[in-house]
Amino acid sequence: MTSIFQVGAFWLISAAIIFTAILVVASKQLVHMVLWLAVCFISIASLYFLLDADYLALVQIMVYAGAVSIMVIFGVMLTQKPDIKECLLFNNQLKLATLVVIVLLALTGGMTYRADWFVSGGTVPADTIAYIGQLLLSKYVIPFEVAAVLLLVALIGAIVLAKEVKPGARSRD
């Protein structure tokens, strides 16, 4: 990736991703947090377009920016108490967590900077969706089916967990 447009796009998108991620962590209002999270997800999707992964970019927009954000918004609205403001944003481990994160980031950054990556000069085929579809239904068919079963189990589990318990109903045991 050496074209000036790709380089400029990479730095622009990275700045957007990191800026919105910091806003997600630092927002006071939970609803603002979800909105910045959606912006962050869409910036990450544009990074996937830059990496020639169009299918992943579409999935990112549909699943993360669409479904996950809507689900989290519902969760926020179902659990928010209107009368009590959240007075303290962070818990009492702020200093320790800052230290741990900075040390780990310095370690990872240093190692990454010194590493010598192997880069193959190949290019991604033009229509990635056809290749991914064939791979998912031939070589990766068992993980694909297991993922489907996992989604079904998670669906049923979420319904059972979140089902409202009627006050007059007798308990199950």
Partner 1 sequence: MPALAISPTNFVLLSAVLFFIGLFGALTRKNAIAVLMCIELMLNAVNINLIAFSRFVTPQLFTGQIFAIFVITVAAAEVGVGLAIIINIYRHRLSVNLDDFDWLKW
Residues 91-150 that bind partner 1 (CB under 8 A): 91, 93-94, 97-98, 100-101, 104-105, 108-109, 112-113, 115, 117-120, 122-125, 128, 131-132, 135-136, 140, 143, 147, 150
Phi, psi of 155 (to 5 degrees): -60, -50
Residue 24: CB minimum distance to partner 1, A: 6
Residue 17 CA to residue 19 CA, distance in Å, equals 6
169 binds partner 1 (CB under 8 A): no
Residue 65: CB minimum distance to partner 1, A: 11
The CB-side HSE value for 21 (13 A sphere, CA atoms) comes to: 9
4 binds partner 1 (CB under 8 A): yes
Residue 13: CB minimum distance to partner 1, A: 9
Pick out residues in 31-50 that bind partner 1 (CB under 8 A): 33-34, 37, 40-41, 44, 47-48
Q: Note the Cα 168 to chain centre separation in Å.
A: 40
Instruction: Determine which residue in the list 79, 83, 85, 173 makes contact with partner 1, applying CB under 8 A.
Output: 79
Residue 1 CA to residue 104 CA, distance in Å, equals 29
Instruction: Determine which residue in the list 82, 83, 142, 159 makes contact with partner 1, applying CB under 8 A.
Output: 159
In b/e form, how buried is each residue of 18-50, taking b as 16+ CB within 10 angstroms? eebbebbeebeebeebbbbbbbbbbbbbbbbee
78 binds partner 1 (CB under 8 A): yes
Residue 69 CA to residue 60 CA, distance in Å, equals 11
72 binds partner 1 (CB under 8 A): yes
